Structure 1
Amino acid sequence: MLTTRFVNGAPNWIDVGTTDIDRARAFYGALFGWQFRSAGPDAGGYGFFQSDGRTAAGGMQTTPEQGPPSWTVYFRSPDAEATCEAAEQAHGRVLFPPMDVTGRGTMAILADPAGAPFGIWQPAQIQGVDVAGEPGSLCWVELYTPDIPAAAAFYHATLGLETAAVSFPGGVYTCVNPAGAGEDAMFGGMVPLADDPTEAESGASWLPYFEVTDVDGVVARAEELGGTVRVAATDVEGVGRIARLADPYGARFAVIRTAPRQEP
C-alpha cells in the first residue's frame, strides 16, 4: 500500500480535472470529508483537496478540449526531462512536456504505448500528497491494459518499476513496486483489459483507489450525490471490500476498505 515515504517510481500525487470544479468540490467534500483550498491566484484555478488540513489530492477546472473529466496519477521522478526521454524511447508519448509549477516541482503528462495517460512529478517544495493509505486518501492504483508484458516493460524502462505475480483465490494478479523496493512496497497492480469488460469500455487507463471505512456507505452516498456505481461493492478474499465509481462528471475512481493484514 502507499505511504508518504515516497521513493522514485512510486505514485506521489493525484489530481482530478473536471468541467465543474465547484460541484466536484461539493461531491468529494461530501464523500470523503475533503475541504478545498486554492493554490493561489497564479495557479489558474488549481487547488488542493485536504483531509484534516493535509493534502490528499489536487483538482482543477478543465475544458472539453482537454479531454473528459478524469483522475490523473503522478509518479515520482528525480528528473522529469530524462523520464520523458525514456518514455519516448520506450514508445510512449509526451502529452504535456515538463513544466515548472511555481517552484513547487516539475510536472509532465505522458501516455504509455497503449494510450493510458499518467503524470510525473519531480519534487521541489512539494514532495507529494501529505496523506496516503489512510481513510479518505489514495491507497492503491491499478493499470488496465491490453498487454501486461508490454506495459511492464514500458514502466520498467520509464520509471524503473518492477512487477510480480501474486496468487489469490481465482487467479493471479500482477503487482507493481518501485525498483529494488520489494513486495512490501507494492503500490498497485496491472489487469488485462480483456478480463474486465467494465474498464474495457474506456480503454487503457490508471484507476486510483481511495481507502474508506465503509464502502457500502460511500457507494450509497455517491449515488445520492449524482455519482455512478460502475462495479457494486464486492468482497475480495485477502484484499478487502471494493467498489468502482464515477463522479457526476464521469471521472472514474474506486474505493476500498482494506482487509486487515494477516500475520504469517
Structure 2
Amino acid sequence: MFSARARASRPLADSFADWFTEGSELFAGRRVRAPGSCTVHAPGHSALSSAPTMHTHHAIDYIELHVTDLAEAKRFYTAAFGWAFNDYGPAYAGIQGPERELGGLALADEVTPGGPLVVLYSDALDASVTAVERAGGSIVEPPFDFPGGRRFHFSDPSGNVLAVWSPRAS
C-alpha cells in the first residue's frame, strides 16, 4: 500500500483502536489519519486511490477475524489461500481484495468460537482442503454435500472456524 520510503517516514499506529479517535472520519467514508499514525483507508476505499468503491445496501461489506497471533494468521492465510495484507501496525492487517480491502485480521487475547460462519468460495474444493492442511489448519468437518454443492469447515491456527464451498461437479 505504501512505498518503503513512505512507510519509513510515517510511524504506524500503535493499534487499530488508535484510528477510532473522537472526530474520526472513518464512518464518513473518507481516508482516516489518527494522530501519530500512517494514513489508512477506511473499508470500502481502494488502497490505490482515495476514491470510494461501490457498495451494496445491506450487503456484507467487511469481515474482521480476531486472531491470537497476527504474524501466524497472515502466514496461514497467505499459504492456504494466497491472501495479501495491508499492514497497519502490530495489532491489525487489512485483507486485500481486487479493488479494496475486504476485511481484516485483528489481534485479540482470545478467539471466542461460535461466531458467524465465514464461507469462502473455491474452484477446486479438494485442493483447498490440502492447502488448509499444509498451511497448518485443522479440518473440522470434511467435505460434505449440501443443496448448493459441497463444502468443508476448517479451523485456523487461532481457532476461527471458516468454511469453503464449491458447486457440485457437473
Q: TM-score, normalised by structure 2?
A: 0.60
Q: Does 1:29 align with 2:78?
A: yes
Change in Cα spacing, 1:13 to 1:259, as seen in structure 2 (3 Å) is: farther
- Residue of structure 2 aligned with 1:210, choices 113, 120, 126: 120
**8 A contact 1:33–1:51 mirrored in 2:** no
Q: Who is 2:152 aligned against? A: 243
Shift of 1:209: 0.4
Change in Cα spacing, 1:7 to 1:52, as seen in structure 2 (3 Å) is: closer
Shift of 1:252: 0.7
Q: TM-score, normalised by structure 1?
A: 0.40
Shift of 1:45: 2.6
CA RMSD of aligned residues (A): 2.3
Change in Cα spacing, 1:218 to 1:21, as seen in structure 2 (3 Å) is: same
Please say which of residues 251-260 and 21-30 is displaced more in the overlay: 251-260
Distance 1:53 1:29 in 2: 18
Gaps of at least 5 residues in structure 1 are 71-201
**8 A contact 2:61–2:102 mirrored in 1:** no
Report the 3-state secondary structure (helix = DSSP H, G, I; strand = E; otherwise coil) of the residue aligned with 1:206.
Answer: coil
Distance 2:99 2:82 in 1: 11
Distance 2:157 2:91 in 1: 20
Report the 3-state secondary structure (helix = DSSP H, G, I; strand = E; otherwise coil) of the residue aligned with 2:165.
Answer: strand
Report the 3-state secondary structure (helix = DSSP H, G, I; strand = E; otherwise coil) of the residue aligned with 2:130.
Answer: helix
Q: How many residues align?
A: 116
Shift of 1:49: 1.2
**8 A contact 1:245–1:253 mirrored in 2:** yes
Change in Cα spacing, 1:53 to 1:26, as seen in structure 2 (3 Å) is: farther
String of CA shifts for 1:108-164, please: whole Å, max 9, x gaps.
xxxxxxxxxxxxxxxxxxxxxxxxxxxxxxxxxxxxxxxxxxxxxxxxxxxxxxxxx
**8 A contact 2:81–2:131 mirrored in 1:** no
Distance 1:5 1:54 in 2: 11
Report the 3-state secondary structure (helix = DSSP H, G, I; strand = E; otherwise coil) of the residue aligned with 1:59.
Answer: strand
The residue identity in structure 2 corresponding to 1:63 is D
Report the 3-state secondary structure (helix = DSSP H, G, I; strand = E; otherwise coil) of the residue aligned with 1:209.
Answer: strand
Distance 1:60 1:249 in 2: 11
Gaps of at least 5 residues in structure 2 are 1-53
Shift of 1:53: 5.6
- Residue of structure 2 aligned with 1:17, choices 42, 66, 70: 66
Shift of 1:58: 0.6
Change in Cα spacing, 1:53 to 1:46, as seen in structure 2 (3 Å) is: same
The residue identity in structure 1 corresponding to 2:165 is I
Shift of 1:235: 2.5
Q: Does 1:47 align with 2:93?
A: yes
String of CA shifts for 1:149-195, please: whole Å, max 9, x gaps.
xxxxxxxxxxxxxxxxxxxxxxxxxxxxxxxxxxxxxxxxxxxxxxx
Once the two structures are superposed, the pairs formed by residues 30-179 of structure 1 within 5 Å of their partners are 30-39=79-88, 45-52=91-98, 54-64=100-110, 68=111
Q: Who is 2:57 aligned against? A: 7
